Amino acid sequence: MTNPNSQNEGLEIVKGMLLLLGCHAVAGALIFLLGLLLAVIGIGDYAFAIPWVIGAAGFFFWQLLYVIPLVITLRRRGRPAMAKGVIMAAVLTALVNGACFISMYGFV
């Protein structure tokens, strides 16, 4: 027989992963809006692409700006399983980002 606490913990981990996915969506939207703003202002021909290149190349570091406070907040509120989900999704994001970066630019 399964333990209901383990099922509940699994659900909380999935909620944490989905929470981070939502944070990634908000971060992507902000990067898009920044590029759109730069393009409207007319800073240059490639003004729209600049935030995308900076955001994509350093997304591992940008995500730390909201992952660390989110994990601290979740642990303080007594949601350690949800914090585990956030950490798992952040590590997965970093690995995928690193793999894409290495496949595009090689070992620099």
Q: In the chain, which residues have pLDDT < 50?
A: 1
- Distance between CA atoms of 91 and 86, rounded to whole angstroms? 9
Q: State residue 61's pLDDT score.
A: 81
Q: State residue 1's pLDDT score.
A: 46
Q: State residue 2's pLDDT score.
A: 54
Q: State residue 90's pLDDT score.
A: 94
Q: Which residue, 13, 77, 75, 76, is CA-closest to 5?
A: 13
Q: Per-domain residue ranges for the chain?
A: 8-105
Q: What is the pTM of this model?
A: 0.81
Q: State residue 70's pLDDT score.
A: 95
Q: Which residue, 48, 56, 47, 49, is CA-closest to 27?
A: 56
Q: State residue 44's pLDDT score.
A: 66
